[in-house]
Structure 1
């Protein structure tokens, strides 16, 4: 098999510069290049910004205001608060700060809402990466599957070619019926068509893998072989065990649970806004006037700033009495969002259980098919060997020989497909039960 694969790659024109990927390299390349995964990562950064802002909203605010003015004609002198009718320049400097003491817990609930949303976005990102990893693994195995099918088709063609060469000699000697030679030649051409079809499927699977890796398709791309025989043992866990494990470890499940938690805090935040808001604030103020003076004459800029300093401290209560029911409708909308999130969580878990049941059924059927085909290949192999001996000795007919060969060829192809199909199905269940195993 390995010699045939080497010959296949030689025929395909593989050169020494062809990129060879291990499974881990293919996964790493896809994770670093896949655009949807990168976009999901940006959503995590966005959620982090919202969380940071929600946490900063708990701090006091601090503002500074600077105002300079030039007045002509009748105006108010800031130094005396009296009317003057002359040109003046003025300046005012203010520093204000405030802090919310109580608003029904709305600020803190908003922080928790954004914390849950941020954690949910990280798990959604992880789910996107896990989905990609699974798809890369499946695509990688599909390439290996098609490589084996190409090798099998070439082996089948090789057997036909040897027999055809033997019959060609006999046909030229008149030792066999011409129809026997033409029958086998037809079979040989059928084997050639099978090689073409298998090679086409191989290149299509390479293209699919390259697209997942966000790489340009290269027909010379090579993959490191994996011994799939170690994955051919029967699956021991039940579908219910897989589902229970998925509820504990599947990122999507944790993500929707955190989304529900986020919306629950969003509802609390909306209700908190129905309560009065108690806040405390203070300010520092000073000003300057170009016409300010005292008995000694015009007051300097620095002295005015020092002399005109004033401070203020205030405690305020804002009571929502009637605002056209806007806030109460916000509460209703928040409750609707929470209910919808709860339904989405329930739907996600139900759909997950259904998908696992289907995947488990597919895996079980694939394993049963694989076991049956193992026995079928062994049986048809014995039949073909016997038919070949009889045909070579002149006892059997070409029809018997070709029938036995066709059965063995089909069984071998079906066995290869069944083997990889079973491995793929197991990988899907591993994805559900413990996604972290795919990341290794």
Structure 2
């Protein structure tokens, strides 16, 4: 499941101080709320190669190994095959067929159409062709609709690639933040260890009470717990990022920690969300895909309306056959005298038959033989052409219902396109608001850290001189560390929001 941009924009909010102060029992809940957007499944690539990963390298590997993108690519290939098939529908059809059969007992000869009671062998051969001359422009509109669906599928792939890149960038920055918080907490542990050592010396000298040492040791234990918690967060985000890259293991997986400027190194952040939105409309693939599907749904209406029109087709065929029962006559070379009547002679009294004489006409003799295969195929050759006109009159209102359903589909596609634009506008507005708020929070947290640093040094001097108890000293110390954590969190939150806005403006995700 891909993480939507609005959720990505809020993922950094769970990191930082709140994360590090969570107890061990709270860790599973955090893991559920920030689960990887694309877990590995099926066949996965090998483990991470040697060498740390930059953000760009991590994005490239994630895009190469992601199974969702592979599935979408196969879906687009299927859509392309449908497009090729619809284009081929304008071509004429041609088919050839041949058959051979044996008839036993009483049957009708397929060529002589006579009843007979004998075993016969029959062959039939035919070649036919057809051409769709007119079908309400359904074929043409189907081709255009499938072209739009194919282009929308390509945009869907690009949308998935963008979502994966945002997910990787979010996890990458969360991992960088977690590593920096580990270093910060380790520095706190080192400071607490030094403080415990100093307190032990002061206790031996009688300068402080034993309770101060106990407070320092309790603070050291808390700082060590925070280090373990931060290290667990590093391991979690490292595993999350490795899973986004679809690697089999996070062992040996490291990242390049970039050098990032502080938010107050640049002027106060300001921008024009509407300008970024107008730029993003022409760049974001989800907007293009939504518009293409609106056009596709309109073509579906045209295809449905095409069923109102008559259909006109042309066809032609050639056929022949053979039957073993068919016989033919053949001259034998002999002839037979066939009597034709009496012979008369002319007498004065009129014609008179000559007794004993009969007139005869020679007739040729024929033999009845089965007709040969080649001769039958040649003599039985038939040809046919036909034109077929089909006029729809009433078909249970199916065409009308299909048109109405396709018109509803257009409205749904238009609403989806409008929803995509609204979501994009809200994401950009939220990113701008969060970036401004993060920069302001960083500047305020930095001033707070500077003030608390001075207060902490003063408290440390008073504590070492026995003028401040351990509880108040630890409060001053924790206040300083809390301000430092808030400042670090605000820094990375601002960086991520800025990168999201750069992404919407087509500048890519780079650190």
TM-score > 0.5 by shorter chain = yes
Q: How far, CA to CA, are the matches of 1:187 and 1:398 in structure 2?
A: 13
Secondary structure at the aligned position of 1:222 is classed as coil
Secondary structure at the aligned position of 2:508 is classed as helix
After TM superposition, list the pairs within 5 Å mapping 1:254-293 onto structure 2: 254-293=288-327
The structural deviation recorded for 1:217 is: 5.0
Which of 392, 403, 415 does residue 331 from structure 1 map onto? Answer: 403
The structural deviation recorded for 1:17 is: 9.1
Which residue number in structure 1 is paired with residue 250 of structure 2?
A: 218
The structural deviation recorded for 1:298 is: 3.1
Q: Is the 2:128–2:315 Cα contact (8 Å) retained in structure 1?
A: yes
The question of 1:55 aligning with 2:87 is answered yes
Q: CA RMSD in A?
A: 2.6
Which residue number in structure 2 is paired with residue 358 of structure 1?
A: 430
The structural deviation recorded for 1:413 is: 0.9
Q: How far, CA to CA, are the matches of 1:350 and 1:264 in structure 2?
A: 22
The answer to which of 93-102 and 237-246 deviates more is 237-246
Q: How far, CA to CA, are the matches of 1:144 and 1:62 in structure 2?
A: 66
The question of 1:406 aligning with 2:478 is answered yes
Which residue number in structure 1 is paired with residue 76 of structure 2?
A: 44
Secondary structure at the aligned position of 1:227 is classed as coil
The answer to which of 401-410 and 158-167 deviates more is 401-410
Q: Is the 1:381–1:408 Cα contact (8 Å) retained in structure 2?
A: yes
Secondary structure at the aligned position of 1:70 is classed as strand
Distance change >3 Å, CA 18–CA 164, structure 1 → 2: farther
Which residue number in structure 1 is paired with residue 468 of structure 2?
A: 397
After TM superposition, list the pairs within 5 Å mapping 1:19-98 onto structure 2: 20-98=52-130
Which residue number in structure 1 is paired with residue 161 of structure 2?
A: 129
The answer to which of 117-126 and 70-79 deviates more is 70-79
Which residue number in structure 2 is paired with residue 295 of structure 1?
A: 329
Which residue number in structure 2 is paired with residue 104 of structure 1?
A: 136
After TM superposition, list the pairs within 5 Å mapping 1:132-143 onto structure 2: 132-143=164-175
> How does the TM-score come out when normalised to structure 1?
0.88
The question of 1:206 aligning with 2:238 is answered yes
Which residue number in structure 2 is paired with residue 306 of structure 1?
A: 378
The question of 1:437 aligning with 2:508 is answered yes
Which residue number in structure 1 is paired with residue 494 of structure 2?
A: 422
Which residue number in structure 1 is paired with residue 37 of structure 2?
A: none
Q: How far, CA to CA, are the matches of 1:217 and 1:373 in structure 2?
A: 38
Secondary structure at the aligned position of 2:308 is classed as coil
Q: How far, CA to CA, are the matches of 2:222 and 2:117 in structure 1?
A: 110
Distance change >3 Å, CA 389–CA 439, structure 1 → 2: closer
The question of 1:115 aligning with 2:187 is answered no
The structural deviation recorded for 1:148 is: 0.4
Which residue number in structure 2 is paired with residue 317 of structure 1?
A: 389
The answer to which of 295-304 and 329-338 deviates more is 295-304
After TM superposition, list the pairs within 5 Å mapping 1:219-258 onto structure 2: 220-229=252-261, 233=266, 235=269, 237-258=271-292
After TM superposition, list the pairs within 5 Å mapping 1:183-194 onto structure 2: 183-194=215-226
The answer to which of 46-55 and 105-114 deviates more is 46-55
Number of residue pairs the alignment of both structures matches: 423
Q: Which structure 1 segments of 5+ residues have no match?
A: 1-15
The structural deviation recorded for 1:60 is: 1.4
Which of 409, 414, 425 does residue 342 from structure 1 map onto? Answer: 414
> How does the TM-score come out when normalised to structure 2?
0.76
- Post-superposition Cα deviations, 1:84-124, rounded to whole Å, max 9, x if no partner, equal 44321111011111111111111110111111111111111
